């Protein structure tokens, strides 16, 4: 069932439909809240307020934005108004998404990227790959983790990510590319049979 069908079902009294939405979105809601507040406990409190707002406001959801964008905006607004976090330092330098030591003084690859085409072709390994990617995302700095989660995992547009996280679109792009580059490096280690295999 898609989000809108689940929304209609839980409004009609289907408890399990609400549970499906909670399972689908609670982890990312906590992540968005943590982006704005200082503690996990506060973030979880903010997500509870968010679900209450969903329960009370779902009938008024007009479907102009997708349900998930609406949901993410609610949690961001609530976390922002609770947020006590100091203003972040946003990196604006668009250079060097890949470690500089991968290139020589003339800017050519010293050691070219290790192919991981074989990993992608193997269905069994693909499951490991998804686990590796998820673990790599979890280890990213928070800003990168939030951006890549909203953009690539949840599929929001660059503009929507910028709006939820209060960043410029240019910053979203820079941070996103760094996050993707870091995930690629982790998968490259996997292809080499390195420490990320396990």
Partner 1 sequence: MALVMNINCREAVTLIGGFLDGTLARRERRRLEKHVAACDACREYLEQMRAIIAVTGRVGPEDLSDDALEVLMDLYDTYRRDLDESS
Chain residues binding partner 1 by CB under 8 A are: 10, 13, 15, 18-19, 22-28, 44, 47-48, 51-52, 55-56, 94-98, 100, 103, 106-109, 112-113, 115-117, 120, 126, 129-130, 133-134, 137, 148, 152-153, 155, 158, 173-174, 176-177, 180-181, 183-184, 187-188
39-44's contacts with Cβ under 8 Å and 24+ in sequence apart are 42/82, 43/79
CB of 69 to partner 1, least distance (A): 16
Identity of the residue, 45 or 80, whose beta carbon is nearer to partner 1 in the bound complex:
45
Torsion sign over Cα 114, 115, 118, 124: positive
Rounded Cα distance, 62 and 67, in Å: 9
CB of 3 to partner 1, least distance (A): 13
Rounded Cα distance, 3 and 126, in Å: 27
The two three-digit tokens of residue 117, written as one number: 């085409």
CB of 173 to partner 1, least distance (A): 6
Identity of the residue, 65 or 129, whose beta carbon is nearer to partner 1 in the bound complex:
129
Q: 168-189: buried (b, 16+ CB within 10 Å) or exposed (e) per residue? A: eeebbbbbbbbbbebbbbbbbb
Identity of the residue, 76 or 190, whose beta carbon is nearer to partner 1 in the bound complex:
190
Helix axes 67-82, 158-165, angle to 10 degrees: 20
CB of 86 to partner 1, least distance (A): 26
184 CB contacts (<8 Å, ≥6 apart)?
A: 113
CB of 143 to partner 1, least distance (A): 15
Identity of the residue, 63 or 117, whose beta carbon is nearer to partner 1 in the bound complex:
117
Identity of the residue, 30 or 87, whose beta carbon is nearer to partner 1 in the bound complex:
30
């Amino acid at each position: 069932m898609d989000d809108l069908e689940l929304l209609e079902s839980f409004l009609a009294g289907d408890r399990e439909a609400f549970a499906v939405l909670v399972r689908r979105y609670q982890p990312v809601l906590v992540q968005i809240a943590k982006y704005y507040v200082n503690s996990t406990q506060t973030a979880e409190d903010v997500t509870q307020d968010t679900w209450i707002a969903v329960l009370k406001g779902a009938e008024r959801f007009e479907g102009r934005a997708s349900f998930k964008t609406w949901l993410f905006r609610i949690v961001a607004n609530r976390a922002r108004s609770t947020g006590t976090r100091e203003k972040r330092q946003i990196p604006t330098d668009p250079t060097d998404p890949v470690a500089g030591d991968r290139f020589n003084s003339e800017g050519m690859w010293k050691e070219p990227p290790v192919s991981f085409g074989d990993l992608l072709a193997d269905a069994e390994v693909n499951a490991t790959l998804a686990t590796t990617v998820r673990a790599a995302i979890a280890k990213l700095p928070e800003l990168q983790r939030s951006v890549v989660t909203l953009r690539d995992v949840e599929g929001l547009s660059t503009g929507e990510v910028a709006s939820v996280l209060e960043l410029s679109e240019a910053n979203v792009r820079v941070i996103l590319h760094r996050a993707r580059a870091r995930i690629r490096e982790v998968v490259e280690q996997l292809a080499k049979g390195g420490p990320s295999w396990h």
